[in-house]
A and B are shown apart, each in its own frame.
Chain A
Amino acid sequence: MKKAFPILAVLTAFLLAYAFYQAMFVAPTDALQGDVYRIIFYHVPSAWTAFLLFFINFVASVHYLADAKPSTQRAAKWIAIAVGIVGVIIPYIPQVRGWLQTIGMYPSSAATTALMIPALYFVIGKLFRGQDVDVLAVTCAEVGVVFCTIVLITGPIWARPVWGIWWTWDIRLTTTLVLWLIYVSYLVLRRFSDSSQTPKLAAVLAIFGALDVPLVYFSIWFFRTQHPQPVIGGGGSIDPRMLHVLLINWLAFSCFAFLVCWSRYRLELLQREVEEAESLESLSGASQ
């Protein structure tokens, strides 16, 4: 495993360089926005990565709490399966379908998202056990906040020339900002709480955050939305050449995020080992 890390690092560097070249020189200039639109090749992949990481954090947090007792573990497993089945069926019911179209989503993309919940749940359950789930949750939250910060910085840089304003309290912008705030408070909680129960409290907060995000979305529902429709799975249209570049960038950013998460994960494991060794040492020192 350790040998794979430098190989992946080199690959990611190449991929990022190639994606940069594609984004800056190959992708055609936008007819209306000119070159300024090229920032979406960083904005959109960062957003996807950040949301994916927050999502993994949520699933890992549920895992951590559910794994405490065999009964809740079993219940959570069945709930995850139920969510997957219901989530795949519901978007195709005509009423829901029509409603999804008003917020610019295809039923297939909604169903895929719903299917990701049980998929991630079982993948994480297979790969991570015990405290490792919590390490995964911290890693994803930290790296996710970094990517979300990139989204919140690149967005206004693009908005200023195109919309004429830096910021607007639009539905997507506000939801992203609130998501960022929730995860910053998550990290603050982890920093301020130093008992052995921190993982439990943090996992509880992550679940509260996940419940909060849809409510934020609907509370700004009445506001007119200004943000462009999602480029994939939404009502927006994009030049196929641009889409190609966007997907390359997305791949590069995913690799990059994976790499960063990996090293952060190893760092956190080592840190915990060191802490454990230190506390054992001080215990044995006190007994002498």
Chain B
Amino acid sequence: MRSFWSITLATLAKDIRLEWRSKDALNAMLFFSLLVVVIFVFSFDPLAEESRHIVGGLVWIAFLFAAVVALNQTWARELRNQVLDGYRVSPAPGTALFVAKALGNFLLVSLLEALMAPLFVIFYNLRVLGPAWQLVPVALLGTWALVVNGTFFAAMSLRTRSRELMLPLLLFPVSIPAVIAMVAATTSIFTGEDSAHFYIVLLVTYDVVFTTACVGLFDTVLQAE
């Protein structure tokens, strides 16, 4: 088991170092979600009291789209110089690679959310009426839900034509329950009208089910060539 985690950590450290040096994905995501925020401002009155009801959805749409930008980059990097082929013939477990990639994306998207959250507060004049601390588990669980399936489907779409187009087509339908839960939880925390408890439990279920499925089936996808 020690070798599993050492491989995972080595891959994760490599990815973080690469991202730290280039900052390609992070910059693209930040700018992209900033654009989404600004463009949405023009589609409704952002300072009205009722906009509190839609901001939960808007935040997650911005992060979902931005995450797709990062997820598309995940595996493309490994295709150059046949890194992925080298990995495939090595005795290292494929799931270690998957866990490392998913964790890397998770850190990246979480960082994006931490940086973008103040902007949302400023631009949409947000005040949280419910228990604000619940936003943290919702954000973490929701991000993991997007990222774990996103990493998996990005690996799957490597084998297809026009793979950048393929990822959202595969990811969005399967992500619908997670998106419903994230948006409903965030909205109920912002408005303070309902308890977000049910949706947090739903997110936990979603995360457990799909993390298991991804880890269990990743070797099949990795070896598919």
Residue contact B159 to A207, C-beta cutoff 8 Å: no
Interface string of A13-37 (1 = CB under 8 A from B): 0000000000000000000000000
CB distance from B48 to the nearest CB of A (A): 23
Residues of B within 8 A of A220 (CB): 180
Residues of B within 8 A of A215 (CB): 177, 202, 205-206, 209
Q: Is B2 part of the contact surface with A, judged by Cβ < 8 Å?
A: no
Q: Is B213 part of the contact surface with A, judged by Cβ < 8 Å?
A: yes
Residues of A within 8 A of B174 (CB): 182, 208-209, 212
Cβ-closest chain A residue relative to B180: A219
Residues of B within 8 A of A200 (CB): 220-221, 224
Interface string of B161-192 (1 = CB under 8 A from A): 11000100110111011001100100000000
Report which residue of B161, B162, B220 has the largest number of chain A beta carbons within 10 angstroms of its beta carbon: B220
Q: Is B32 part of the contact surface with A, judged by Cβ < 8 Å?
A: no
Q: Which of A170-227 contact B (CB under 8 A)?
A: 178, 181-182, 184-185, 188-189, 192-195, 197-198, 200-201, 204-205, 207-209, 211-212, 215-216, 218-222
Residue contact B205 to A185, C-beta cutoff 8 Å: no
Residues of B within 8 A of A207 (CB): 213, 217
With A185-B173, A201-B224, A208-B213 as contacts: A194 and B161 at CB distance below 8 Å: yes
B221 in complex: contacting residue of A185, A204, A211, CB < 8 Å: A204
Q: Is A151 part of the contact surface with B, judged by Cβ < 8 Å?
A: no
**Complex formed: what's the CA distance from A218 to B203 in Å?**
11
**Complex formed: what's the CA distance from A58 to B221 in Å?**
17
CB distance from B212 to the nearest CB of A (A): 9
**Complex formed: what's the CA distance from A68 to B219 in Å?**
12
Residues of A within 8 A of B217 (CB): 65, 204, 207
Q: Is B134 part of the contact surface with A, judged by Cβ < 8 Å?
A: no
Report which residue of A194, A198, A209, A211 has the largest number of chain B beta carbons within 10 angstroms of its beta carbon: A211
With A201-B221, A215-B209 as contacts: A193 and B173 at CB distance below 8 Å: no
Residues of B within 8 A of A192 (CB): 160-162, 166
Cβ-closest chain A residue relative to B168: A185
Residues of B within 8 A of A211 (CB): 209-210, 213
CB distance from B148 to the nearest CB of A (A): 11
Cβ-closest chain A residue relative to B161: A192
Cβ-closest chain B residue relative to A195: B159
Residue contact A193 to B198, C-beta cutoff 8 Å: no
Cβ-closest chain A residue relative to B175: A212
Residue contact A205 to B170, C-beta cutoff 8 Å: yes
B161 in complex: contacting residue of A193, A208, A216, A221, CB < 8 Å: A193
Which 5 residue pairs are nearest across A and B when measured between Cβ atoms?
Answer: A197-B224, A215-B177, A193-B160, A181-B173, A219-B177
A residues neighboring B (CB under 8 Å): 65, 68, 178, 181-182, 184-185, 188-189, 192-195, 197-198, 200-201, 204-205, 207-209, 211-212, 215-216, 218-222
What are 21 pairs between A and B in contact, CB < 8 Å? A65-B217, A185-B169, A185-B172, A185-B173, A188-B166, A189-B160, A194-B161, A195-B159, A195-B224, A197-B225, A201-B221, A201-B224, A205-B156, A207-B217, A208-B210, A209-B173, A209-B174, A215-B177, A215-B202, A215-B205, A222-B198
